[in-house]
Amino acid sequence: MRSVFLAPACVLVLGVCAYLGSKPDAEPVKVRLKLVDAATGKDVGGMVRVFMEGKDEPLVLPGLFDRLRGVTRTQDTRGWYIVPAQGAEITLPRVRLRFEVVCGLESTLARQEVDLREKGPAEVVVKVPFLFRPEKEGLAAGNTHLHLRDLSPKDTDEYLRQIPSADGLKVMFLSYLERKSDDKAYVSNRYPVGELKQFRGTGVLFNNGEEHRHNFEAYGQGYGHVMFLDIKELVRPVSLGPGITGGGDDDRPLQPGLEEARRQGGTVLWCHNTSGYESLPSVLAGRFDALNVFDGSRTGRYEDSYYRYLNIGLRLPISTGTDWFLYDFARVYARVEGRLTVKSWLQSLRAGRSVATNGPLLRLTVDGRPVGEVLKFDAPKTIHIEAEGIGRHAFERLQLVHNGKVVQEVRSRKKDGGFSARLVRDVRVTEPGWFAVRIDGQVRNELGHVLFAHSSPCYVDFQGQRPFDLETGRALLRRLEEARADITAKGRFSTPPARAKLLAVYDKATDDLRARINRRGR
């Protein structure tokens, strides 16, 4: 009889022990978490999230910095925290756990299970395999456009010390921005223009520039937004027009500011694709050095903006940033020759040795020459093109673009824990043009954003000529006419002569473009 009661009692005790041991609030254990490069054993920074066995809700990890601090997150993007290269101590429930880790864009998604139900290890080491190593190709990742708001100065400093480094960025540009009343919360404005020396120990080069802008309203359309990088002092006025400043008029175009930034030796980038009326007059006049795509907005298509500039013979590198917070992995890889500095990185970007991406790394050679190069031919020639993409996600299609049209595509396939695609093509060149490589698809990364990747072009001059597509030229001419009409309707000018002076910017660009069309239309 005794044994009859004893057996159920033992089962009950074991069940209670198992239950208590599985509770997330039972006997938490403190461990040190480290991430290491699976191939080299070197300590690395990255981001982690942790799940209890059988659960889909990631754990809150006090003591680690929230990767999506300041950003609205979805169900799929919650739970990511920063692990510095030196590691960090965290407190975890005494249960079976699953760790997920990524290091920037360069690694696979590493998964590791750890059982803390018994005597847990003092240290958890997650080995992270890497898919590509930018430094071996002379590539350095940069973000050209970042504002922060609604954080304390202490949290802002910690944000900048931890996230860019863990994301694998090597160059980081903050941006000073003014907007009536709202800018009281723009904590990134407190940093001085120029190098931010207090962050040297992070392994990231920090520089603070300026976003110079005009809108007819607080947000939306206007003359446009431009970034001034590596300037010596703020270009004033920083913001233009009553829509942003709350007073005054729309008399002043962006051009004087662009000229002042160049006088200081700064690099000028156009923001947000080609949103803004003054983008076309400025690019025709050669006033900016690169075009930021998808920095804060996924609006627009390459075909409607970037490709139109290239198709009228303009040479314009591609770049990107993230605008408000590091909400995405977006960065531009630039191939730097020699020692990496802010100036050498910007020089590489201006030269077009760049790929903008929030997913795979792209490679392209045209007749053996990398992106940014100009190939010159006096007679027809068959050239050999190779392109490749490699990344953590199934980026769907790798596409070769020639003069704005996709001429070949291949699908990505699983390889070495990630995905890759490669295409090879011989092209007979009989006219001027350009080649670039991009991806196309709807796959999202860990931070919830649709993947994009696009290289700067390789250019082809033929018999001393650059490309010029007449239909593109006429479409851009119509854009100038529409801009002029909209400015006339929306602008608030101090006097009729002031309005005429502002519109003269567009009249001059119209005359310039019409002359180019007439020369090519003969």
Q: Do 268 and 157 share a structural domain?
A: yes
Answer yes or no: are the C-beta atoms of 452 and 470 closer than 8 Å. Answer: no
Residues 233 and 331 in one domain: yes
The verdict on 200 and 57 lying in the same domain is no
- Of 64, 96, 128, which one is at a domain's C-terminal end? 128
pTM summary value: 0.93
- One DSSP character per residue, 415-479 reads ETTEEEEEEEEEEEE-S-EEEEEEEE---B-TTS-B--EEEPPEEEEETTB----HHHHHHHHHH
| pLDDT at site 521 | 60
Same domain as 41, residue 80: yes
The verdict on 33 and 147 lying in the same domain is no
Per the CB < 8 A criterion, the answer to whether 470 and 522 are in contact is no
Which CATH number does the domain housing residue 377 bear?
2.60.40.10
CA pair distance 194, 191, nearest whole angstrom: 9
Per DSSP, 216 falls in state S
Q: What is the domain-level CATH number for residue 160?
A: 3.20.20.140
- 402 and 340, same domain (yes or no): no
CATH number at residue 77: 2.60.40
In this structure, the number of other CB atoms found within 10 A of the CB of residue 232 comes to 12
Of 422, 440, 467, the one marking the end of a domain is 467
Spatial distance between the Cα atoms of 173 and 230, rounded to a whole number of angstroms: 9
Tell whether 376 is covered by a domain: yes
Q: Which structural domain, as residue segments, surrounds residue 97?
A: 15-128
Quick one: pLDDT at residue 121? 83
Asked if 389 and 372 sit in the same domain, the reply is yes
Same-domain status, 47 and 167: no
- Please identify, among 328, 353, 378, the residue that sits at the C-terminal boundary of a domain: 353
The angle at the Cα of 233, spanning 172 to 153, to the nearest 5 degrees, equals: 50
User: Do residues 326 and 347 lie in contact, with contact meaning Cβ atoms separated by under 8 Å?
Assistant: no
Closest by CA position to 317, among listed 458, 479, 223: 458
Helix pair angle (496-521, 470-490), 10° resolution: 170
Phi, psi of 457 (to 5 degrees): -80, 160
For 4, list phi and psi in degrees, rounded to 5.
Answer: -65, -40
Q: Give yes or no: residues 151 and 39 share one domain.
A: no
Q: How far apart are CA 508 and CA 495, in angstroms?
A: 20
Please list the residues that pair with 437 across neighbouring strands: 400
- What pLDDT sits at residue 484? 97
Residues 6+ apart with CB under 8 A from 58: 49, 50, 51, 78, 79, 80
Q: Are strands 331-335 and 239-240 parallel, antiparallel or unpaired?
A: unpaired
pLDDT along the chain (522 residues), means of 10: 38 38 64 97 97 95 95 91 96 95 98 88 94 97 98 97 98 96 95 95 96 89 95 97 94 98 97 89 95 87 93 97 97 97 98 98 98 98 98 97 98 96 97 98 95 98 97 97 96 97 98 94 56
Q: How far apart are CA 277 and CA 279, in angstroms?
A: 6
Q: How many domains does the chain have?
A: 4
pLDDT at 338: 93
